[in-house]
């Protein structure tokens, strides 16, 4: 993309809004402007750059390769300047919008009460919690921060590990009552298994005993689901066994709805991560929430 000194920098916020909203109408509503003004500003910017920034169809608007490059290179800097101006006029108070992406299950279990408290502490900050069980594209969707649970695979993003959690094999008392005994990991192969398809390897598990023995078990599953809540419901209904995280099962274990199997064997621990887009500048609102939520999790664990 050529360097155009005369390009209208005032069009960048409008360009970013269209990219994040996925259309000119939605962007105009978000900005409180007429759709024609947003469309004209983006068209002029494209003319100045000599490149199409969006591929427009009757149904949607998506970034072109040039648009993706402009967004990745310019929007983080733009947000940094906007934040610096806001803080200069607000005596350090957090302002603007903090967009957080998180899985539905985890948002209900842990994040929602923390966000509610953080919002109360920072009344000048708008917080947009976007829940989805798919992994969000932070740059494309305009996400400031994602809370991800498990194991990170995208090395291009920056992340801070906030906490860890354990995993365990669980089943309902009703299932275990009628099923063969389970004394060691190899016995799991003869049982009904429910796979959580969100995991990279939902059918292969590595167990370690208290004595340091390691056993890798490969399983077959008749039932699969991409939802943690559905997985727990299937287990409580007697569908079989599966590996479930310790974060979401404490209540079911206390009430006896689920029972831990193979307590003498441990599984790899997972992590809770704060993930944010690449770039040198980390907005203060992101840093503030990461620090707050890290402390929140530590207190909850203690």
Q: What is the pLDDT of residue 244?
A: 93
The pLDDT of residue 280 is: 57
Domain that holds residue 63: 9-74
Q: How far apart, in whole angstroms, are the C-alpha atoms of residue 38 and residue 11? A: 8
Q: Alpha-carbon Rg of the chain, whole angstroms? A: 24
Whether residues 175 and 135 fall in one domain: no
Task: Supply the pLDDT for residue 193.
Answer: 97
Crossing angle between the packed helical segments 12-21 and 65-90, to the nearest 10 degrees:
110
Does residue 251 surpass a pLDDT of 80? Answer: yes
Q: What's the pLDDT band for 240 if we cut at 50, 70, 90?
A: very high
Most confidently modeled range among 52-61, 95-104, 258-267, 272-281: 258-267
Q: Is there a single domain that holds both residue 153 and residue 228?
A: no
Count how many domains the chain has: 3
Q: Which residue has the higher pLDDT, 229 or 247?
A: 229
Q: How confident is the model at residue 1 (pLDDT cuts 50, 70, 90)?
A: very low
CA 26 and chain centroid, separation: 23
Is residue 281 in some structural domain? yes
In a domain, 182, yes or no: yes
Q: Is the pLDDT of residue 214 over 80?
A: yes
pLDDT-derived band at 92, boundaries 50, 70, 90: low
Same domain, yes or no: 117 and 172:
no
Q: What percent of the chain has pLDDT over 70?
A: 86
User: Which regions of 103-219 does DSSP assign to beta strands (E)?
Assistant: 125-131, 145-150, 158-165, 167-171, 194-196, 204-209, 214-218
Task: Kindly give the residue spans of alpha helices, DSSP state H, lying in the chain.
Answer: 12-21, 24-31, 35-49, 65-90, 104-106, 112-121, 138-141, 173-178, 228-236, 246-254, 284-301
Same domain flag for 49 and 137: no
Q: State residue 2's pLDDT score.
A: 46
Instruction: Judge if 98 and 155 occupy the same domain.
Output: yes
284 shares a domain with 259? no
Q: Which range, of 22-31, 60-69, 191-200, averages the lowest pLDDT?
A: 22-31
Measure the CA–CA gap between 42 and 8, rounded to whole angstroms: 10
Statement to judge: residues 195 and 288 lie in one domain: no
What pLDDT is recorded for position 25? 86
Residue 28 lies in a domain: yes
Winning range, highest mean pLDDT, from 4-18, 73-87, 90-104, 188-202: 188-202
In a domain, 222, yes or no: yes
Place of tokens 């960048």: 12
Going by pLDDT thresholds of 50, 70 and 90, the confidence category of residue 28 is confident
Whether residues 105 and 127 fall in one domain? yes
| Any domain includes 80 | no
Q: How many whole angstroms separate alpha carbon 240 and alpha carbon 235?
A: 6
Note whether residue 3 is domain-resident.
no
- Of 74, 104, 127, the residue that ends a domain is 74
For residue 200, what pLDDT band results from cuts at 50, 70 and 90?
confident
Task: Looking at the structure, tell me whether residues 116 and 145 fall in a common domain.
Answer: yes
- Same domain? 56 vs 118: no
Q: 241, 194 in Cβ contact below 8 A?
A: yes
Confidence at residue 157, expressed as pLDDT on a 0 to 100 scale: 66
The residue whose two tokens read 């077959």 is 220
**CA angle in degrees (0–180, nearest 5) for 118-289-123:** 35
On whether residue 190 sits in a domain, the answer given is yes
What residues form DSSP beta bridges with 146? 101, 275
Contacts of 108 (CB under 8 A, 6+ apart): none
Whether residues 97 and 143 fall in one domain: yes
Would you say residue 79 lies in a domain?
no
Task: Say if residue 237 is in the same domain as residue 203.
Answer: yes
CATH number for the domain harbouring residue 248: 3.40.190.290
């Amino acid at each position: 993309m050529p360097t155009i000194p005369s390009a209208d920098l005032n069009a960048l916020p409008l360009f970013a809004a269209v990219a994040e909203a996925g259309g000119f109408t939605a962007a105009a509503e978000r900005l409180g402007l007429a759709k024609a003004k947003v469309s004209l500003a983006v068209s002029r910017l494209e003319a100045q750059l000599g490149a199409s920034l969006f591929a427009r169809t009757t149904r949607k608007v998506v970034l072109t390769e040039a648009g993706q490059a402009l967004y990745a290179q310019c929007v983080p800097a733009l947000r940094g300047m906007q934040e610096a101006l806001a803080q200069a006029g607000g005596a350090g108070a957090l302002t603007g919008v903090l967009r957080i992406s998180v899985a539905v299950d985890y948002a209900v279990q842990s994040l929602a009460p923390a966000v509610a408290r953080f919002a109360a502490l920072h009344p000048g900050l708008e917080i947009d919690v976007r829940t989805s069980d798919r992994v969000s594209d932070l740059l494309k969707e305009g996400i400031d921060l994602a809370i991800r649970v498990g194991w990170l695979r995208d090395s291009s993003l920056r992340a801070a590990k906030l906490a860890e959690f354990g995993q365990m094999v669980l089943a309902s008392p009703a299932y275990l009552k009628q099923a063969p005994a389970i004394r060691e990991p190899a016995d799991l192969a003869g049982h009904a298994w429910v796979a959580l398809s969100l995991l990279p390897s939902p059918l292969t598990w590595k167990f370690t005993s208290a004595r340091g023995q390691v056993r890798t078990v490969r399983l077959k599953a008749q039932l699969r689901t991409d939802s943690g809540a559905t997985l727990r419901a299937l287990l409580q209904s007697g569908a079989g066994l599966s590996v479930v995280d310790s974060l979401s099962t404490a209540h079911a274990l206390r009430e006896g709805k689920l029972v831990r199997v193979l307590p003498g064997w441990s599984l790899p621990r997972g992590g809770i991560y704060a993930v944010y887009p690449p770039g040198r500048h980390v907005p203060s609102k992101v840093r503030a929430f990461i620090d707050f939520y890290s402390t929140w999790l530590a207190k909850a664990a203690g």
